[in-house]
Amino acid sequence: MNEAPRVAAIVVAAGRGSRAGEGAPKQYRMLAGQPAIRHAFSALARHPRVTHVLPVIHADDEGAFADAAAGLDVLAPVHGGATRQESVLNGLRALESLAPVLVLIHDAARPLLPAAVVDRLLDALEDSDGAAPALPVVDSLRTGDAHADGEVDRSRLKRVQTPQAFRYGAILDAHRAAAPDATDDVAVALAAGLRVAFVEGDERLAKLTYPDDFARAEAILAAGRVVRVGHGFDVHRFGPGDHVWLCGVKVPHSHGLVGHSDADVGLHALTDALLGAAAEGDIGDHFPPGDPEWRGAPSDRFLAHARDLVLSRGGIIDHVDVTMICERPKVGPFRTAMRTSVAALLRLPEERVSIKATTTEKLGFTGRGEGMAAQATATIRL
């Protein structure tokens, strides 16, 4: 049996994406609870035929990249150049020691990458030097300024997407000889005399260019998912101390809360709610209370774990709601900070996070001031 060829994938992410509006570069903006670039990394890293994933990033984006790629099997990034062509060449050169046979070159601005497109591209390289996904032009095309004056034959026109696939050595030599303003890798390949095949593209590979494109991509990701709701409940008794942790916020109080970790009832209840919605057991399954590793641990680690479980399965966290149950301390003065904390932990806009508090009218253990309780609900699509 012939050994499968080594296939490397370069993800080009050094651009600034100014047309997408103000804020972070578009590849690091949130899309369904994750940085957009993470979707591309995940699709390539989990593809059974791809052996290495190499990010090419802007020198200013080291921190954003580290957050976006956390926990994924990708190589250490290399820095891009002044143009896209220079960035791709930097990536190709960085792969020389790995000696891949085939290479995929993909733009991070196309985060929704179906595995079937990758398969079609790699299969096409059996007979060609390169391959690119393409879609037909379906709209009528006309020339003119203020008024129409001519028609363009669309029968041979294609909308070309990425990733584009090549035999590694051939495209490396082509890029070394290319002009720095080449528009894409097909242009570089054709200029070098390489033969490039078209394969069927996919509408899901549309590029993120303008702000509205993010809403379209969100809708694609949400299609076909099932809405699932999880509930969580947690209790901790008061003990010695001068503060409590509630939803990631340190709240001064006459007592502390007793627990194996930091005893944050809000985050514990919310963690269980997310795990329940994903049918992933409960917090004790993932963080056994007898394990010394979790003694005094900040509860944001538990919530981040539950978040990542949902996201790793392609899920979307839509909304969370936490209710603190206690007579003291007063939650109201800290509610905004708690909402901000939870939103940041779950990578959600604050309008999708609700924090509330109530009392039990002096009844029960919370009414007697013996401890606190919290209940939470999480709504996800999976």
Paired tokens of 309: 């479980």
User: In the predicted model, what is the mean pLDDT of residues 261-275?
Assistant: 98
What domains can you pick out in the chain, each with its CATH number? 7-222 (3.90.550.10), 227-381 (3.30.1330.50)
Asked whether the beta carbons of 234 and 272 are under 8 A apart, the reply is yes
User: In the predicted model, what is the mean pLDDT of residues 24-50?
Assistant: 93
pLDDT digits (tens, 9 = 90+) for 170-180: 999 999 999 88
Asked whether the beta carbons of 320 and 381 are under 8 A apart, the reply is no
Paired tokens of 185: 């890798």
Cβ-Cβ contacts under 8 Å for 7 (sequence gap 6 or more): 49, 50, 51, 52, 100, 101, 102, 103, 104, 122
pLDDT digits (tens, 9 = 90+) for 312-364: 887 889 999 999 999 999 999 999 999 999 999 998 989 999 999 999 999 99
Other CB atoms within 10 A of residue 282 CB: 13
- Mean pLDDT lowest for which of 16-25, 57-66, 120-129, 263-272? 16-25
The Cα 143–Cα 308 span in angstroms is 49
CB-side neighbour CA atoms (13 Å) of 294:
19
Task: Please classify residue 200 by burial: count the beta carbons closer than 10 Å to its beta carbon, then call 0-12 exposed, 13-18 middle and 19+ buried.
Answer: exposed
Eight-state DSSP code of residue 88: H
Task: Please classify residue 92 by burial: count the beta carbons closer than 10 Å to its beta carbon, then call 0-12 exposed, 13-18 middle and 19+ buried.
Answer: buried
The Cα 167–Cα 128 span in angstroms is 9
The amino acid that residue 197 corresponds to is A
- Give the C-alpha distances (Å, rounded to integers) separating 77 from 41, 91, 176, 218, 322: 12, 9, 20, 27, 39
Eight-state DSSP code of residue 2: P
Give Cα 129 distance to the centre of its chain. Answer: 32
Look at residues 97, 124, 101 and name the one whose alpha carbon lies nearest to residue 186.
124
Asked whether the beta carbons of 160 and 132 are under 8 A apart, the reply is yes
Confidence category of residue 367, pLDDT binned at 50, 70, 90:
very high
Task: Answer yes or no: is pLDDT of 22 > 70.
Answer: no
The Cα 49–Cα 115 span in angstroms is 10
pLDDT digits (tens, 9 = 90+) for 93-152: 999 999 999 999 999 999 999 999 999 999 999 999 999 999 999 999 989 888 898 898
Look at residues 311, 328, 330 and name the one whose alpha carbon lies nearest to residue 378.
311
Paired tokens of 103: 């290479």
pLDDT digits (tens, 9 = 90+) for 1-15: 456 789 999 999 998
The Cα 259–Cα 241 span in angstroms is 12
Eight-state DSSP code of residue 104: E
pLDDT value of position 1: 42
Look at residues 62, 53, 67 and name the one whose alpha carbon lies nearest to residue 14.
62
**Inter-axis angle of helices 36-45 and 62-69, to 10 degrees?**
50
Residue ranges of alpha helices (H) inside the chain are 36-45, 62-69, 84-94, 115-124, 168-176, 185-191, 211-222, 265-277, 283-286, 300-312, 335-346, 364-367
DSSP 6-63: PEEEEEEE----GGG-SSS-GGGSEETTEEHHHHHHHHHHT-TT--EEEEEE-GGGHH
